[in-house]
Structure 1
Amino acid sequence: MKLSRLAALSSSLLLAATAALMGAAPASAASEAASTDYVALGDSYSSGVGAGSYDSASGNCKRSTKAYPRLWAAAHSPSTFAFTACSGARTGDVTASQLGPLNTGTDLVSITIGGNDAGFSDVMTTCVLQSESSCLSRINQARAYVDTTLPGKLDQVYSAIRGKAPAARVVVLGYPRFYKLNGTCTAGLSETERKAINDASDYLNNATAKRAADHGFTFASVVGSFTGHEICSGSAWLHSVNWLNIGDSYHPTAAGQSGGYLPPFSSAA
């Protein structure tokens, strides 16, 4: 009888200890996030263009309350949060006007950058309005830029970030593939053009990932999370050409921010 009571007591104590540990884990994670100083940098894919609900104080930068940096901050309540990402930003814009909040106490940085340097907007305009041959030619020009010029510009941005925030975890996010091939689209670009655009996005992501790794940063791909939600998928998380609001074109919707960008960033942060 005494042995059975002792066994029951030991079992109860073990269960209580396990429950206490399980209960402490979320609290510990919450405490860690609450002590985080987070700065969100980058271009329109980080500011949230296409997601709507823009902060009027952000002006033409179009920082959305539905952008993944704000969603992460709302979920984790960091001790400080600075959101300087801006629509249309190139690498030089980040170094010139976005790095102010970074300091030696910064713990976490996120950034998307490089698409505007590589001429993404002009690529899409050419492909939509001109011939297939013109589209493919412009894509090849962008790929050449990614080979010859972009790596050095990314190095400048990444070095500047590390110089101002030497202890920060820096998460560099990529860009999605834009089209589901052989999907629901029956007009517009040819399949050849769509595949070339997807391949160019992969090309940019690969170059960006290499530069990020060389600086000790984490690269978070969003290709997987957007798979099944590309343009022509029937369940797109990306705007196609929007003639009424042309700036939204080829940018993530609110669902693209919450479902396409937030999960990869949360996993890497």
Structure 2
Amino acid sequence: MRTRRSLSTTASAITVALLTAVVLTASTLTAAATGGTTATFRHYVALGDSYTSGPLIPLPRLDPVGCVRSTSNYPALLAHRLRVHSYTDVSCGGADTGDMTSPQDVFLGPNPPQFNALRPHTDLVTIGIGGNDYGVFGSLVDTCPQLRSGDPTGAPCREHFTEDGVDTILARIADTQDNVTEVLRGIHERAPRARVLLIGYPRIAPEVGYCPKVLPFAEGDYAWLNEVEKALNGALEKAAAADGATTYVDTFGPSLGHDACQPRGTAWVNGQHRKLLAAAEYHPYFTGMRGVAEVTYAHLR
């Protein structure tokens, strides 16, 4: 997903992280991807935004650095677990559905259209996309924390985005469904043999309770944030159903008890503070990537 303040500054932070993270990667990846199966996929392509690319999770790739693409994100773990013959990850922080067919302007980029990685012989595709369409995710994380102080027990962010009784965030998500359906059609056209999995977004806020030092949202906006995430994932699930040849992978349900309020090592998603060698703000930790990889692998079994 995308935040206005994170992508360019994260790119420079990665340069520092790169030098100190090298020794962590081999042991981490091996430990996380234990087990395996007989190879059944020859060419795996991973598409998506930053919830796929994994900003600040060691070890960052440099192709280009502005995509904040980790070698320990869930596509990397899944590829290792499946022992695929070849694997291409073109996910990129800040990507939306338009970046599947158009170049994306990033630091030391651009990142080519992600669909360029697809081939007629591609037989597995995972894609995590939609959260950046119409600025949904960026609108939430840029606006909601600023409104908390004025009404800490209310739902000022939900009220801010409600116009004439219409929740404008939920309205944007309804349009996202059509965009994702079109993306899935494009994948099938370019990789007609591929098994396609559409990966949902894990939960950020807890089902109950609050942690304002980690998630600086007003208390009433916690429930609304969950409502927004459920709507986004629901739109993805409907897009997969409309496509008819795509499997939707739910990560919101399996991430119950792994929200940002949980302790480090349990949480799948980071809160408001950037953590070098761990996670960008409001983005997955390695634990989250491992969790998503395991859920996705279970679908493929």
Secondary structure of 1:82's match?
Answer: strand
Find out whether 1:189 has 2:217 as its counterpart: yes
Quote how far apart the aligned CAs of 1:243 are: 5.4
TM-score (norm 1): 0.81
Aligned amino acid, residue 55 of structure 1? R
- Mark the CA change 1:129 to 1:224 in structure 2 (over 3 Å): closer, same or farther: same
Matched, 1:238 2:269: yes
Of 167, 179, 184, which residue of structure 1 is paired with 2:193? Answer: 167
Count of residues in correspondence between the two structures: 238
Pairing 1:21-170 to 2, within 5 Å after superposition: 29-33=37-41, 36-96=42-102, 97-118=113-134, 119-131=136-148, 132-138=155-161, 140-147=167-174, 149-170=175-196
Structure-1 separation of matches of 2:204 and 2:173: 18
Check if 1:255 corresponds to 2:287: yes
Q: Whose radius of gyration is greater, 1 or 2?
A: 1
1:9: which partner in 2? none
Deviations 1:182-227 (A, max 9, x none): 4362553222111100110000101111111211200001123211
Unaligned segments of structure 2, at least 5 residues = 1-34, 103-112, 149-154
Distance apart, 1:49 and its partner CA: 2.0
The root-mean-square deviation of aligned C-alpha atoms, in Å, is: 2.2
| Distance in 2 between residues matched to 1:199 and 1:77, nearest whole Å | 37
Deviates more, 1:61-70 or 1:45-54: 45-54
Is the contact between residue 39 and residue 82 of structure 2 (CA under 8 Å) also seen in structure 1? no
Deviations 1:53-97 (A, max 9, x none): 211233111110110000111222211111101000000001220
Paired residues of 2:199 and 2:250 also in contact (CA < 8 A): yes
Q: Unaligned stretches of 5+ in structure 1?
A: 1-25
Alpha-carbon distance between aligned partners in 2 of 1:166 and 1:65, rounded to the nearest angstrom:
27
Displacement, 1:50?
4.5
Whether the 8 Å CA contact 2:126–2:196 is kept in 1: the answer is yes
